Chains A and B, each alone.
Chain A
Amino acid sequence: MSEGRLRLTILGGFLGSGKTTWLRHQLHTGTYGHVHVIVNEAADAPVDDALLARADQMTLLAGACACCAGQDALIAALLDICNRRSGDRDPAARLEHIVLETSGLADPGAILLLIQAHPILARQIVVSGIVVVVDALNGADQLQHETLSRKQIEAADRLILTKTDATQTDEVARLRATLAALAPAAQQSGALFGSDANLPDYDAKAIMPYRLADASDTPITASQLDLGIDADWTAFTVWLSALLHARGDHIVRVKGVVRTPAGRLLVQTVRKSVQSPEILPESAKNVPTDNSIAVIGRGFTQEQLRASLVQFSA
């Protein structure tokens, strides 16, 4: 259901984690094609906009964080971009992508909810990914002391570790294990000044993750649910909508691809909110990860989820 809609990537990460540096390199290499960059800075005196001169078009939102106090400004900026795009008759010049660089104090999940709850933006924009940049040097410390840093990681689809060259290899490995525990479905990669860098491998069993800001919580677990070859989409949606209603606050993320009569649907949720499923291209080969759903959250086990889902689909 992304047809015709503008794709939006939310780029988040804690203060000083390297968001702008990473984005600047992506603009240089043209990763996002014809792109409009929105930079949000919580401070009144912005500097990031000067560093991002490569973007085709840029909007600067300074003085308030877009996930809370600056929501109205963000919505106005997005509406303006959508308006101008729909007036654009030349398909080649049409804007394809928006990258929103959030302030270091923003919760990307809150911005996603904001866009999905808006009656016009929900039709115009599809959030295609949440990229969160993590500073390998200070990331562990932030995770141990800042609940916000942890929220940012939980919302991510993709985690970029920066400054790995300035950090001991074993510390990077320990940070990776901690990130994997918080966001088991997020893909991790390394970057130095924006270019790809290798990350050290780690043995998940041998490494003790860092203790986190509110470690008294029950730990987050990732469960994998197999819907079978003839996945029953309807039963699955009845189950998932009930689960999100009853336990949405404890479900960090649900992600997977389900085969339905309408095509291969990519289902993604962040907390209580479900993104409108995107139809993925059919592939000739049978993709082994199809009809398998990852549920990440706390307060339940994989067996409980499976037993409950069977009651709906049987």
Chain B
Amino acid sequence: MCSACGYPAALGHWTEAGAATPHDRLRERFRRVQVLQKVLKGSGVTAHDGGVVPGIQVMSLSGAQTIVPDLEALWSEVEGYRGRPFDPLDLG
């Protein structure tokens, strides 16, 4: 619960359900950004997550930056920067 507004904390995003302990959560974040950096190579967008600030940083080649809370928001942002969605099947 947020102590300022009293509203219950947001339900975790489904992609974060695989980690139950703080250690696993941090490990998962690093793994997530590692996978993102690999698949986004050459797409004109990069991702960064140092594990300190919540969220994932997304950057375009022109220097625009956003911090997104989860993967769902990340793919929308990536689509916004590129002008078309990132289709994972193009990598196959």
- Chain A contacts to B: CB under 8 angstroms: 1, 122-123, 232-235, 237-239, 241-243, 245-247, 258, 260-263, 265, 267, 274-277, 279, 300, 303-313
23 A-B pairs whose Cβ atoms sit less than 8 Å apart in the complex = A123-B11, A237-B15, A237-B32, A241-B74, A242-B71, A245-B75, A246-B75, A246-B85, A246-B86, A246-B87, A258-B18, A260-B18, A262-B24, A267-B14, A276-B14, A304-B92, A305-B89, A308-B88, A308-B90, A308-B91, A311-B91, A312-B38, A313-B35
B24 and A300 within 8 A (CB): no
B15 and A261 within 8 A (CB): no
B89 and A300 within 8 A (CB): yes
**Chain B: minimal CB distance from A291 (Å):** 12
A239 and B20 within 8 A (CB): no
Given known contacts A245-B79, A312-B35, is B18 in contact with A237 (CB within 8 Å)? yes
Q: Which of A232, A237, A276 has the most CB of B within 10 A?
A: A237
A238 and B32 within 8 A (CB): yes
Which 4 residue pairs spanning A and B have beta carbons closest together? Answer: A307-B92, A260-B18, A233-B18, A245-B75
Residues of A within 8 A of B31 (CB): 232, 234-235
Q: Which of A238, A239, A246 has the most CB of B within 10 A?
A: A238
Q: Which of B8, B14, B71, B87 has the most CB of A within 10 A?
A: B14
Interface string of B16-37 (1 = CB under 8 A from A): 0111110010001001100110
- Chain B contacts to A: CB under 8 angstroms: 8, 11-12, 14-15, 17-21, 24, 28, 31-32, 35-36, 38-39, 71-72, 74-76, 79, 85-92
Given known contacts A241-B15, A243-B89, is B71 in contact with A261 (CB within 8 Å)? no
Residues of B within 8 A of A274 (CB): 14
**Chain B: minimal CB distance from A306 (Å):** 8
A312→B75 CA distance, assembly (Å) = 15
User: In the complex, which of the residues B12, B24, B75 contacts A241, with contact meaning CB atoms closer than 8 Å?
Assistant: B75
A241 and B72 within 8 A (CB): yes
Residues of A within 8 A of B14 (CB): 237, 267, 274-277
B20 and A311 within 8 A (CB): no
Residues of B within 8 A of A122 (CB): 11
B71 and A263 within 8 A (CB): no
A238 and B36 within 8 A (CB): yes
Q: Which of B86, B88, B90 has the most CB of A within 10 A?
A: B88
B35 and A245 within 8 A (CB): no
B35 and A238 within 8 A (CB): yes
